[in-house]
């Protein structure tokens, strides 16, 4: 990633964020720009897009696919509710924390090499995971997978923006965005199918197969794009970012165990925020920053980043909560629970494809804000679900939620990439990916923590229940439903109440995103 200029000059045009307005950049063809945008035949654009989207689907599906296996993982490993959050979020946390340095490595040494290395690491970690039965070992392997994913994801979008001509880039980005959104749901569905015939270990076998196919496709079709003059990696900045995000997420996930107002929680949150402030100050003074904070003074860039982050905050938090509700409260099988979320995909995929044309007609601001409001409405509907609710109420929340993500996601991604000149497309790709993964990691941490805290506070067990059973029921809802009556019914009631609180928290986040995007993109010149 090259260092962005603090103030745009004549050599750095202001590019409109609308995906259909033709760009007329005046940036001279520099060696860096040529290195990032090689001439490849038009006939190879399709295979490049297909392979990069396969690599993207491999790492994005891993964020959600294990959610459908949470009940069987809880039973097989005796994991507490907090441990279950870590099993899911360890991947997202490492993924998000390492995206910026991994993107910089890809820019400097080649995005094709980054894709191949990341897919190999991801495949190796997935191959080892089926042989473990410990929650701690599973958390460690999920960290390894996150390292591989951090190398893969920024290389996919920067390869697309670096190889496709500008007139075809918006359409390619819309395909990328549709895959990024829908592959999380398709990963859940594939996992549900596998769990019908095997255990939760099958989910990792699927990751091995997808990674192997993506490696073969990358080796055959993807050109290598790199910036050989890229400055040295900002190791200090990377260390501050990783430490800050790690302390923040750790404190949030562990809050139900220690208490939100405990010294451990408040100290960890304070340390995480202090480290992130130090990261910003360091980046402002660094000669070759990992991410220049001044980029966020560009309204379209800031609006797109915030919108993407809070969309996926709600989305991945919802998947974490909803999979447990469908299987442990409604009693659905893993496959039925996976199929139950398909109304979201039915809205998301067509809306993602329609979004560029809709943004051209009504403006990116209206398209993105309208999508965020639809997403908020879907979360509010799902917060009304209880143990006796009809499935149609669940579907009635999932469909507008998918529509909203589809309409909001593509213009937000395009706003990020089109607000930067060609030489900074690697930066835009990395920030787009960071927004998604950081939002997902925080969403799982925050909504999972709200769920765990509210579940424990609302679980009222009769005095006749033994201390041992009561402790096991409070530690994990997945264990509580197997402890018989009256523990089972009380645990289900407490979980439903807690789920409502968590989902309303997600709705508040997306409503905040809608207000922020409307403010940042106000005015006739800010599409």
Find out whether 19 and 356 touch, Cβ atoms under 8 Å.
yes
- The pLDDT of 159-183, averaged and rounded, is 78
- What is the pLDDT, as a whole number, of residue 229? 64
Q: Which of 302, 53, 347, 87 is nearest to 177 (CA)?
A: 53
307-336 burial, b at 16+ Cβ within 10 Å, e below that, comes to bbbbbbbbbbbbbbbbbbbbbbbbebebbe
Higher pLDDT, 526 or 290: 290
Q: What share of the chain is helix, strand, coil (3-state, %, to 5)?
A: 80, 0, 20
pLDDT of res. 188: 85
Q: How far apart are CA 184 and CA 186, in angstroms?
A: 6
Instruction: Specify whether domain 45-233+290-520 bears CATH 2.10.109.10.
Output: no
Would you state the structure tokens that stand for residue 377, as one six-digit string?
């409405």
pLDDT at 22: 35
Predicted local confidence at residue 361, as pLDDT? 87
The encoded tokens of residue 44 equal 């190879």
This model's pTM is above 0.85:
no
User: What's the pLDDT band for 5 if we cut at 50, 70, 90?
Assistant: very low
Predicted pLDDT of residue 59? 92
pLDDT for the residue numbered 502: 95
Q: Is the pLDDT of residue 221 over 90?
A: no
Q: According to the model, what pLDDT value does residue 39 have?
A: 58
| 268-327 confidence digits (pLDDT tens) | 999 999 999 999 999 998 888 888 888 888 888 999 999 999 999 999 899 999 999 999
Q: How far is CA 315 from CA 119, 266, 406, in A?
A: 25, 26, 12
Q: Which residue has the higher pLDDT, 182 or 335?
A: 335
Q: How high is the mean pLDDT of the chain?
A: 83
3-state secondary structure of 444: helix
R_g over Cα of the chain? 22
CB 413 within 8 A of CB 432: yes
Q: What is the 3-state secondary structure (H, E, C) of 35-52?
A: HHCCCCCHHHHHHHHHHH
CA–CA distance, 514 with 527 (Å, rounded to integer) = 15
Cα 487 from Cα 492, distance rounded (Å)? 9
What is the pLDDT confidence band of residue 144, given thresholds at 50, 70 and 90? very high
* pLDDT greater at residue 17 or residue 277: 277
Task: Say whether pLDDT at 14 is over 70.
Answer: no
């Amino acid at each position: 990633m090259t260092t962005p200029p603090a103030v745009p000059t004549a050599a750095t045009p202001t590019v409109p964020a609308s995906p259909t307005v033709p760009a007329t950049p005046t940036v001279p063809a520099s060696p860096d720009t040529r290195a990032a945008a090689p001439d490849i035949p038009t006939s190879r654009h399709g295979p490049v897009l297909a392979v990069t989207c396969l690599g993207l689907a491999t790492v994005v599906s891993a964020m959600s696919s294990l959610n459908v296996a949470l009940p069987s993982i809880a039973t097989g490993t005796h994991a507490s509710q907090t441990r279950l959050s870590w099993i899911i979020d360890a991947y997202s946390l490492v993924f998000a924390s390492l995206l910026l340095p991994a993107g910089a490595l890809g820019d400097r040494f080649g995005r094709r090499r980054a894709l191949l290395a990341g897919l190999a690491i991801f495949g190796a970690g997935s191959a080892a995971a089926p042989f473990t039965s410990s929650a701690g070992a599973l958390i460690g392997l999920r960290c390894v997978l996150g390292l591989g994913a951090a190398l893969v994801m920024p290389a996919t979008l920067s390869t697309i923006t670096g190889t496709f001509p500008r007139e075809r880039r918006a359409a390619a980005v819309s395909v990328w965005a549709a895959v990024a959104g829908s592959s999380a749901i398709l990963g859940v569905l594939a996992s549900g199918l596998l769990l019908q015939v095997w255990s939760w270990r099958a989910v990792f076998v699927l990751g091995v197969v997808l990674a192997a196919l993506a490696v073969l496709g990358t080796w055959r079709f993807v050109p290598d794009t790199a910036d050989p003059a890229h400055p040295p990696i900002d190791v200090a900045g990377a260390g501050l970012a990783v430490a800050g995000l790690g302390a923040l997420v750790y404190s949030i996930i562990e809050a139900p165990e220690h208490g939100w107002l405990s010294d451990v929680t408040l100290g960890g949150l304070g340390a995480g925020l202090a480290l992130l402030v130090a990261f910003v100050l360091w980046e402002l003074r660094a000669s070759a920053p990992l991410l220049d904070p001044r980029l966020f003074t560009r309204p379209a860039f800031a609006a797109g980043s915030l919108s993407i982050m809070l969309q996926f905050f709600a989305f991945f938090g919802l998947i974490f909560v909803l999979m447990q509700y469908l299987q442990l409260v409604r009693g659905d099988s893993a496959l039925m629970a996976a199929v139950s979320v398909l109304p979201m995909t039915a809205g998301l995929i067509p809306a993602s494809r329609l979004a560029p044309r809709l943004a051209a007609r009504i403006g990116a601001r209206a398209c993105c804000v309208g999508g965020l409001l639809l997403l908020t409405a879907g979360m509010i509907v799902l917060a009304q679900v209880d143990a006796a609710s009809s499935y149609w109420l669940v579907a009635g929340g999932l469909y507008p939620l998918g529509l909203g993500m589809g309409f909001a996601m593509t213009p937000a991604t395009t706003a990020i990439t089109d607000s930067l000149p060609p030489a900074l497309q690697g930066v835009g790709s990395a920030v787009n990916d960071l927004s998604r993964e950081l939002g997902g990691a925080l969403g799982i941490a925050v909504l999972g923590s709200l769920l765990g805290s509210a579940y424990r506070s609302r679980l009222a067990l009769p005095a006749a229940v033994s201390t041992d059973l009561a402790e096991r029921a409070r530690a994990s809802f997945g264990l509580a439903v197997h402890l018989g009556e009256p523990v089972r019914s009380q645990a289900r009631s407490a979980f439903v109440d807690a789920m409502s609180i968590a989902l309303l928290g997600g709705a508040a986040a997306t409503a905040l995103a809608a207000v922020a995007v409307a403010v940042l993109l106000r005015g006739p010149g800010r599409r």
